[in-house]
């Protein structure tokens, strides 16, 4: 199946070597917030349950902490599989509604492509949906505190050779593809 | 002493300025010169690998090529996220000649090229291994006596490296504890010292991030820590700035100072707090400052 093929391309060993030892799930700090534990997700991939895999919030809840990859006795790079699934679902525009992750990634990338650098306020709007209005107010209070202490910039920095930079990126991916 | 190419990364230009200034001050005092790479670009953080692997790769390739062009074979990154991206981008290109070619094709657009001649270090590696704990100990002027420091490794300074990739022990490193000890402070052991703080989830899965944060703060507090020392701006910002959110949403009452290891080093080396960017905290660090030997004698006398 397509998802499986994609995953073979990633680092580490293919997911079908999984022996269901659950070491990845046991070590995962975010597991209680996932629809499916990492081990379960691997099992679903191996069973070819593409729709269920893509509908899961599991890979969007992955913090990329690499604990699973480091400990998997089979050498499966579980964290890379989570990344691969994020990429796959972004490419295919297939992700559960209401998730902030995909939008966040896109915004972040846009900021970097425009400037060569990232800055916090550029992706602050992503906070709005997650926390609702009270969340936003608290974010702003936090932002005010940081501003007063000189820890928040309001104008994104730019690299000098931004045109060359964009041309360089253009040799890797079509620029309109991600904006 | 040696000169290093220095890659500050985006956070150190904004929310983590105090990490930048303290790193530069401490390096200077220890006889290390950090030269910022000219016109460096964002490493892509983690969001890039979500979107496109090659894109993430080329961002790091450009920074490595810039360091190579400046003829500085050793590159230092203070941010663990940047460090991990640069380190693995380098490894991938060294292992895969096709990838190296592909990157060079893109780099040409900016009149750059890369041949693989750069080694990537984390800032802490630089101090612990290249400068060495003995040399640091010798320079300590104001030991942090009695200060209980919880060293927080975070994720990407050690993971997903394997033993031999510049680390003796990936699962149970002690170098951070040893560094804290060299400053005259007491390193406290706590179970969550290597567990993820959830920084990358704060915007996207807030509940997961806050709960991870709470567990980590609780773990350090239970071990009697006066302060958590970090080696990554993303962890520092998450642990400090979101502490009030944890308190508000999860009903806790944490007031745990979170400082960069370079700030603690600087204090012990006798550098003035202001020069280390101290004073821009959201969670007050006064208890930490009071633990310096000079302050204690001043109070006693
Ligand atoms: S640790 Fe590896 S082998 Fe064990 S369940 Fe997870 S992926 Fe499968
Ligand atoms: S990398 Fe993701 S899936 Fe793996 S342990 Fe960390 S949070 Fe869990």
CATH numbers and ranges of domains, chain A: 2-91 (1.10.1060.10), 100-172 (no CATH)
Which residues contact residue A33 at a Cβ distance below 8 angstroms, ignoring those fewer than 6 apart? A57, A61, B205, B207, B208, B211
Nearest ligand to the C-alpha of residue A37? 2
Nearest ligand to the C-alpha of residue A22? 1
Between chain A and chain B, how many beta carbons pairs sit less than 8 Å apart?
186
Q: Is ipTM over 0.90?
A: no
pLDDT at A98: 59
User: Out of A60, A65, A101, whose CB is closest to B155?
Assistant: A65
Which residues, listed in sequence order, are joined to residue B6 by a DSSP beta bridge?
B36, B76
CB contacts of A157 in chain B (<8 Å) are 10, 13
d(CA B150, CA B147): 10
Ligand 1 centroid to A166 CA: how many Å? 40
A15 lines ligand 2 (CB under 6 A): no
pLDDT tens for B68-84 read 999 999 999 999 889 99
Strand B186-187 with B148-152, pairing:
parallel
B residues 2-21 closer than 8 Å to A (CB): 10, 13-17
pLDDT at A156: 57
Query: For B143-300, which CATH class?
Result: alpha beta
Q: A126 or A66: which carries more pLDDT confidence?
A: A66
pLDDT at A58: 94
Q: What is the mean pLDDT of chain A?
A: 73
Q: Are residues B212 and A169, on separate chains, in Cβ contact within 8 Å?
A: no
Q: Pull the structure tokens for residue B211.
A: 């709960």
Do the beta carbons of residue B274 and residue B21 sit within 8 Å?
no
Which residues, listed in sequence order, are joined to residue B75 by a DSSP beta bridge?
B5, B120
Do the beta carbons of residue B152 and residue B230 sit within 8 Å?
yes
Ligand 1 atom at minimum distance from A42 CA: 7
Q: Are residues B50 and A90, on separate chains, in Cβ contact within 8 Å?
A: yes
User: Out of B14, B46, B203, whose CB is closest to A151?
Assistant: B14
Model-wide pTM > 0.90: no
Q: Are residues A83 and B62, on separate chains, in Cβ contact within 8 Å?
A: no
Q: Are residues A118 and B46, on separate chains, in Cβ contact within 8 Å?
A: no
A85 lines ligand 2 (CB under 6 A): no
Q: Pull the structure tokens for residue B220.
A: 């350090």
User: Out of A77, A83, A171, whose CB is closest to B106?
Assistant: A171
Q: A105 or B284: which carries more pLDDT confidence?
A: B284
CB contacts of A171 in chain B (<8 Å) are 105-106, 108-109
User: Out of B52, B59, B62, whose CB is closest to A87?
Assistant: B52
pLDDT tens for A79-111 read 989 988 887 877 776 666 656 566 656 666 666
The single residue listed with the structure tokens 């700090």 is A29
Cis peptide before B160 (omega within 30 of 0): yes
With H, G, I as helix, E, B as strand and everything else as coil, classify residue B301: coil
pLDDT tens for B90-136 read 998 999 999 999 999 999 999 999 999 999 999 999 999 889 999 99
Q: What is the mean pLDDT of residues B178-205?
A: 91
A7 lines ligand 2 (CB under 6 A): no
pLDDT score of A126 more than 50? no
Nearest ligand to the C-alpha of residue A69? 2
CB contacts of B195 in chain A (<8 Å) are 29, 65, 67
User: Out of B13, B45, B204, whose CB is closest to A100?
Assistant: B204
Q: What is the mean pLDDT of residues B31-41?
A: 91
Residue B146, sorted as left (phi over 0), alpha (psi -120 to 50) or beta, turns out to be left
pLDDT at A178: 43
Contacts 24+ apart (CB under 8 A), A91-96: A92/A54, A94/A54, A95/A54, A95/A60, A96/A55, A96/A56, A96/A57, A96/A60
A137 touching chain B per CB within 8 A = no
Task: Judge residue B298's burial from the number of C-beta atoms within 10 Å of its C-beta, 0-12 exposed, 13-18 middle, 19 or more buried.
Answer: exposed
pLDDT score of A135 more than 50? no
Q: How many CB atoms lie within 10 A of CB A134?
A: 10
B62 touching chain A per CB within 8 A = yes
User: For the domain B3-122, what is the CATH code?
Assistant: 1.20.1050.140
CA angle B50, B54, B59 (to 5 degrees): 90
Q: Identify the DSSP state of B285.
A: -
- Element (H or E) spanning B34, and its range? strand B33-36
Residue with CA nearest ligand 1 atom 1 = A72
Do the beta carbons of residue B30 and residue B135 sit within 8 Å?
yes
CB contacts of B108 in chain A (<8 Å) are 171
Do the beta carbons of residue B112 and residue A167 sit within 8 Å?
no
List Cα–Cα distances, B252 to B94, B152, B239, B247, B255, in angstroms: 48, 20, 14, 4, 10
d(CA B39, CA B43): 12
> In chain B, where are the structural domains located?
3-122, 143-300
- Highest-confidence segment of A168-177, B154-163, B268-277: B268-277
d(CA B181, CA B134): 11
Distance from CA of A20 to the nearest CA of B (A): 21
Q: Are residues B55 and A109, on separate chains, in Cβ contact within 8 Å?
A: yes
Q: Pull the structure tokens for residue B192.
A: 């969550």
pLDDT tens for B133-145 read 999 999 999 999 9
pLDDT at A155: 52
């Amino acid at each position: 199946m397509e998802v499986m093929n994609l995953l073979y391309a990633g680092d580490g060993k293919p997911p079908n070597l999984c022996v269901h030892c659950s070491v990845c799930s046991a070590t995962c700090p975010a597991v209680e917030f996932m629809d499916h534990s990492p081990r379960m997700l691997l099992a679903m991939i191996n069973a070819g349950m593409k729709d269920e895999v893509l509908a899961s919030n599991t890979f969007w809840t992955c913090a990329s902490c690499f604990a699973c990859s480091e400990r998997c006795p089979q050498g499966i790079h579980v964290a890379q599989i989570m990344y691969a699934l994020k990429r796959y679902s972004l490419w295919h525009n297939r992700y559960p509604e209401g998730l902030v992750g995909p939008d966040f990634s896109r915004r972040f990338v846009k900021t970097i492509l425009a400037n060569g650098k990232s800055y916090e306020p550029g992706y602050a709007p992503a906070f709005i949906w997650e926390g609702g209005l009270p969340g936003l107010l608290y974010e702003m209070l936090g932002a005010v505190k940081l501003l007063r202490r000189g820890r928040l910039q309001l104008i994104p920095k730019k690299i000098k050779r931004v045109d060359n930079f964009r041309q360089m990126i253009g040799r890797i991916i079509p620029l309109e593809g991600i904006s | 002493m040696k000169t290093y190419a220095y890659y500050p990364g985006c956070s150190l230009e904004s929310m983590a300025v105090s990490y930048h200034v303290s790193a530069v001050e401490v390096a200077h005092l220890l006889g290390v010169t950090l030269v910022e790479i000219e016109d460096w670009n964002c490493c892509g953080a983690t969001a890039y690998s979500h979107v496109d692997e090659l894109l993430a790769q080329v961002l790091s390739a450009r920074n490595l090529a810039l360091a190579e062009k400046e003829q500085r074979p050793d590159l230092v990154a203070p941010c663990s996220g940047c460090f991990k991206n640069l380190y693995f981008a380098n490894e991938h290109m060294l292992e895969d000649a096709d990838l190296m070619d592909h990157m060079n094709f893109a780099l040409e657009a900016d009149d750059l090229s890369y041949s693989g001649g750069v080694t990537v270090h984390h800032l802490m590696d630089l101090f612990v291994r290249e400068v060495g704990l003995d040399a640091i100990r010798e320079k300590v002027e104001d030991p942090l006596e009695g200060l209980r420091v919880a060293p927080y490794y975070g994720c990407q300074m050690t993971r997903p490296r394997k033993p031999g990739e510049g680390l003796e022990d990936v699962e149970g490193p002690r170098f951070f504890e040893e560094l804290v000890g060299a400053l005259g402070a007491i390193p406290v052991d706590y179970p969550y010292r290597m567990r993820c703080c959830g920084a990358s989830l704060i915007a996207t899965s807030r509940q997961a991030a806050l709960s991870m944060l709470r567990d980590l703060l609780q773990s350090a507090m239970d071990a009697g820590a006066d302060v958590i020392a970090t080696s990554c701006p993303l962890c520092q910002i998450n642990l400090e700035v979101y502490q009030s959110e944890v308190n508000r949403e999860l009903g806790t009452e944490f007031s745990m100072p979170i400082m960069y290891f370079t700030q603690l080093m600087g204090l012990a080396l006798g550098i003035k707090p202001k020069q280390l960017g101290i004073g821009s905290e959201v969670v007050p660090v006064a208890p930490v400052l009071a633990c310096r030997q000079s302050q204690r004698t001043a109070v006693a006398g």
